[in-house]
Amino acid sequence: MSLRAFVEVQDVTKVFEDPKRGSVEALRGVSFSCFSGRIFGLLGPNGAGKTTLLRILATTLSPTTGSVSIDGVVVSTDPARARRSMGFLSGVAGLYERSTARELVSFFGELHGMDRSAITARVDELSRLLGMESFLDMPCGKLSDGQRQKVRLARVLVHDPPVLVLDEATATLDILVADEVMRFIEAERARGKCIIFSTHVMGEVERLCDDVAVIHKGRVLFLGTKDELAQGGRVADAFMQLVRGASDASSPGAAS
């Protein structure tokens, strides 16, 4: 079965103007494609440009040059339509503390134009899939970290988008809940979803990712399959070798 590119990033740069440093290039000619039925790992140390790139994918930030398309829609041309094809999970997204999990997920279904019967059915389905039955009608302010993360995940999945962008999906979760979330992500891949997965946990990359991009100082150092990166070894070792090599090459006194 042929794979379809649901996300295409083409030669994206992003320049910020800083009062002290002047022009700061956060992204430098970043290009890659993400396909249906595969998990694409977005890897890089802090400050690499991942957050900037994720914000561009989420349509909350525009690239300085280059283009991004989601399910065939150019983000800069029609961001609202692009968002309908995507679910974006941010590691810092808050919840309405007084709303119940059911109310919050249903509200996001309404934002996506779903009718009441479809929302009810989808909330019940996600509740079963994510194991939310015991707290579905509890206020979000009374939920544990793991329960809150499941609510965040449910609200980005309520409209069943073909593209999922997951930023630190298991951050702050205990090992049991993290495993539940990863098993759910694996099931979504099996359903043919295109998934972009940003994480600092190399064990999650080993388990989940099919393809990876390593970004450092705004540039793509590596783009290919997980196995091509690891070359028979560990992903963590290959990642560190790439990043350290790039840092050494760009440090003062390095050979030109």
> Residue 75 has what DSSP assignment?
T
Please give the single-letter amino acid code of residue 173.
L
Report the candidate in 155, 153, 251, 188 with the shortest Cα–Cα distance to residue 36: 188
Residue 36 forms beta bridges with which residues? none
pLDDT for 175-226, tens place per residue? 988 899 899 999 999 999 999 999 989 999 999 999 999 999 999 999 999 9
Q: What is the pLDDT of residue 109?
A: 95
Over 90: is that where the pLDDT of 39 sits? yes
Domain boundaries, the chain: 1-85+162-256, 94-160
pLDDT for 130-139, tens place per residue? 999 999 999 9
Give the C-alpha separation, 33 to 12, whole Å. 12
How many CB atoms neighbour CB 110 within 10 A? Answer: 12
8 Å CB contact between 28 and 218: yes
Q: How confident is the model at residue 249 (pLDDT cuts 50, 70, 90)?
A: low
Over 70: is that where the pLDDT of 250 sits? no
Alpha-carbon torsion, ordered 130, 227, 14, 165, to 10 deg: -10
Q: Is the dihedral of CA 139, 91, 195, 174 positive or negative?
A: negative
CATH superfamily of 1-85+162-256: P-loop containing nucleotide triphosphate hydrolases (3.40.50.300)
Report the candidate in 175, 182, 130 with the shortest Cα–Cα distance to residue 154: 130
Does the global pTM surpass 0.95? no
Q: Choose the weakest-confidence range: 8-17, 126-135, 185-194, 239-248.
A: 239-248
